Amino acid sequence: MSSIYTNKEYLEKNPTWHDEDSPWKASQIARLLARNKLVLATVAEIGCGAGGVLASLAESLPPQTRLHGFDISPQAIEMAQKRQRPGLTYSCEDALTSPDTFDLFLVIDVIEHVRDYLGFMEKCRPKARYKIFHIPLDIHVSSVLRARFVVGRRTVGHLHYFSAESALDTVEDTGHRVIDYIYTDGGVALADLHPSLRRTLANLPRRLVGLFSQKLSARWFGGYSILILAE
C-alpha cells in the first residue's frame, strides 16, 4: 500500500492531499493541548502530507517551538516545503528511522493506512514522551448498514476501521497510556466549510444527536474521529 503514496496514485485521487482540512485539524489539536497545559519545545508529525496541519498549529504555539514534518511521499513533501520557514521544516523520510526525538509526536489520520498498524504504533513510543493520534471512527451503525467501508478503502486508502472503544484500546495495547481524548466532528465542521445540500441533509440527525451526546452521534451516524493524547 505504501507505493500509492510514492507513485502519484494517491495524489491523483486526492490532488489537494486534504490540505483544505488542515486548519480545522490543527484547531482540534490546539484545543486538546491547551486543556492539558503541555509545554512543548519540539513537535513532529509523521505522514504530514502537504504540511498544512503543522503550519496551522505553529500559529497557536510559542514562536520558539520547533516543528518538523515527515512524509514518505515526494509529491507531498514538495508541497509542504513551500511552507518552510525558521522553526518549521519538512523532509521526505521515514520518521520512525530518524534518530531524532521530540516532545510531541503527531500521528494524524495515519494508522488506518498502515498495514501493520500495531507494530507501527509500538515504534512510535520512543519518538516522544507525548503522542497525539487522530483516528477516524469508520465503524458506526450507518456504515455497517450501507456497507460503506470499501469506499474509503478505494478512495483514501483506509485498511483498518475503528470505533471509539477499539481506537482507545489500540493505543493502550501498544504500550501507551491514554491521558485525554476528545471527539472531533469532522462530518459537521468540514461540511460547514465546504457546504452542499447533500451534506446539509446528511448532517441533520448527526447535529441533533450530537447536541446531547457526541458519543452516540458517532456510534450511530459517523462523521467523527477521536483525538487521543497519550504518553
Grid coordinates standing for 58?
505553529
The CATH architecture that domain 3-136+158-186+224-230 belongs to is 3-Layer(aba) Sandwich (3.40)
Whole-number pLDDT of residue 220: 82
Please report the pLDDT score of residue 205 as a whole number.
77
pLDDT of residue 43: 98
Q: Is the pTM of this model over 0.85?
A: yes
Residues 82-99: tens digit of each pLDDT: 999 999 999 999 999 999
Per-residue pLDDT at 6? 63
Q: What is the mean pLDDT of each run of 10 residues along the chain (231 residues)?
A: 58 65 94 95 96 96 97 91 96 94 97 94 97 94 78 76 96 98 85 68 77 85 92 96
Domain ranges of the chain: 3-136+158-186+224-230
